[in-house]
Chains A and B, each alone.
Chain A
Amino acid sequence: MKIITLIRWTVRELAAKATLYVLAGISTLMLLFAALAMGTDSTSDGTTITFFGKPASPPVTHEALADLAGKIEAGFAGGLFLGIVVFGVFGTAGVITDALEKGTVDLYLSKPIARWELLLGKYLGSVAAIFLNILYFIGGLWLIVGAKVGVWNIPFLLSSFLLTYVFAALYAIVTFFGVVSRNMAIAIIGGILYFMLIAGPLEGRQTGLYLLSESGVYRGILDGLYYIFPQIPAMESGAIHLISGEQAQVTPFVQSFLSGGGILGVAAWLLQRRDF
């Protein structure tokens, strides 16, 4: 019950700090762009999707049109994911560090809530706020594509949950850095650097980092790290595959759940040991 209170008020916090509205504003601009730009062009050879009147492909059958719509939606989802990484992390990193500030943390912890509950409530509140934004964008785009093209791609709508899940895995890292440093800038840098300098290179290690050495130990360490940390690029590409109507591996999602949970657990343990 207290975790629900923390989640609810964290969403309000992000709304009050204008984070939610800024993200919703960016989403609205992108949706307006899609609504104005997107259309269809039907000829005797079939139908195609147009952007500003220019066809995205030669005319295709209705079934192929659904595939084309799925690929366009997947492209938008990929762009949205990058937006979430940048704006989502920037907008929500302060939730954890603000709660741990001197003078504020005393107020929280003088209430009958455990430290892990405080951390989990704040973490889930941020994830819930990002979910609302993702749902707004994906839901809006789903309606626009459905209304303009006549393709109602349910996997695209459901990808709201997957993209939120990917953000949640990354946000576990941001939360960890937030707890360790109690500094918003370090939490943001930690999350972004992890995404750019660790997650990406580890995902492509077989064609990149492996080339630096042929040592089995070195490659074993890289493989170990890959399976210890959340596999964000793999999850992102899995979500995009599902939107496009293709198969996706479940393993990265399961592994990232365990890894993200573990990182949150370590953050909660460190928080529990700290004197305020």
Chain B
Amino acid sequence: MFAIESDALSKVYKSGVFRRQEVPALTGFSIQVETGQIFSLLGPNGAGKTTFIKMLLSLAAPTSGSASVLGRRLPDVRVREKVGYLPENHRYPGYLTGEQVLRYFGALGGAPSGALPARISSLMELVGISQWRKMKVKKYSKGMMQRLGLAQALINDPEIIFLDEPTDGVDPVGRKEIREILRDLKRRGKTIFLNSHLLSEVELVSDRVAVLDKGHLLKVGTVDELTATGQAYVIGITGTLPEPVTVAARAFVIALSQQGENVTAECRTTAELNRVIDLLRRNNVEITSVTRARSTLEDSFISLITGEAHP
């Protein structure tokens, strides 16, 4: 059973005076998220990321297609007993203290009232806001609000946690702490569904990533799969590649370049790579490593969105 599964899910918003103007937000979106994974959805503004989460939480109704969460076909209010959600730009009632926010939303989530005080204390400790537990949330900074939002998403000990831009407004130290919390949740078997613009963050924590643009799924896979750059390899060597060897290699590979003690060879096949290695060895070049060349997730993301090849 998948934690989240969607099948050709689509959403068209209607706008205008007579709701005649149709704005497609998501088109035929199908993904499967395994239990216990950190799954991230990437995409530019308006790609449909938040719409997808909202449909999974029944905040918006799909125009077509279907989805299920924890094996329950949506819409099903019982799903939300096992789900935590940190929305983007969330607003808590400003007259409540941080502790009261957790008590209120914990009670609405169905948490047993006897267990709530201990749960609230441990969560406020976990997200690092226990010293502000009695402060009204209208005085909280953006970073503190995000931490409170994360605690709120976890208050009912959910099986799936949806986080929409969880590190928005959080300082680098706070971001690292949140990453640690996410990893810890994963270790405890929780499934985490992350929407984020911060690609470096996603790269550090995600098991699988989907890239979405204008409502269409462009690619889905592990971070390694998304950042792999075809048949380019980095060959670690000692010293500098002799010029005749460079010229000889360039005669049969697509491209070859050297930066420091790394030679990057773009080959058509692995046979070509082996030919390069043989050439280097014949010329007494000492090879220290051979690895597949990778771009950053940001590079891959931009090339997917713009349709350009990897640099």
Which A residues form the contact surface with B (CB < 8 A)? Answer: 2, 5-6, 9, 13, 16-17, 98, 101-114, 275-276
Contacts and interface: CB of A to CB of B under 8 A. Distances in A.
Nearest to A273: B61
A275 B91 contact: no
Given A2-B108, A111-B108, A112-B78, A103 B87 contact: yes
Given A17-B95, A106-B85, A275-B54, 16 more contacts: A9-B104, A16-B93, A98-B93, A103-B87, A106-B54, A106-B87, A106-B90, A107-B91, A107-B105, A108-B108, A110-B57, A110-B85, A111-B109, A111-B110, A112-B110, A275-B60
Interface of B: 13, 54, 57-61, 77-81, 83-85, 87, 89-93, 95-96, 104-105, 107-110, 152, 162
Contacts, number: 75
Contacts of A107: 85, 87, 90-92, 105, 152
A275 B108 contact: no
B13 A110 contact: no
A103 B93 contact: no
Given A13-B93, A112-B80, A275-B13, A106 B108 contact: no
Contact of B83 (A17, A108, A110, A276): A110
B87 A112 contact: no
Contacts of A102: 89, 91
B87 A110 contact: yes
A103 B91 contact: yes
A111 B84 CA distance: 8
Contacts of A5: 104, 107-108
B110 A2 contact: yes
A6 B54 CA distance: 22
Nearest to B76: A112
A187 B95 CA distance: 22
B95 A114 contact: no
A108 to B, nearest CB: 7
A129 B222 CA distance: 54
Contacts of B58: 109
B59 A114 contact: no
A240 B96 CA distance: 39
Which residue, A13, A16, A111, has most C-beta atoms of chain B within 10 A? A111
A111 B13 contact: no
Contacts of B61: 275
A102 B107 CA distance: 21
Contacts of A13: 93, 95
19 contacts: A5-B108, A13-B93, A16-B93, A98-B93, A102-B89, A106-B90, A107-B87, A108-B108, A110-B57, A110-B87, A111-B108, A112-B79, A112-B80, A112-B109, A112-B110, A114-B77, A275-B59, A275-B61, A276-B60
Nearest to A118: B108
Nearest to B82: A112
A128 to B, nearest CB: 16
Contacts of B89: 102-103
B124 to A, nearest CB: 17
A276 B81 CA distance: 19
A253 B152 CA distance: 43
B82 to A, nearest CB: 9
Contacts of B96: 16
A112 B81 contact: yes
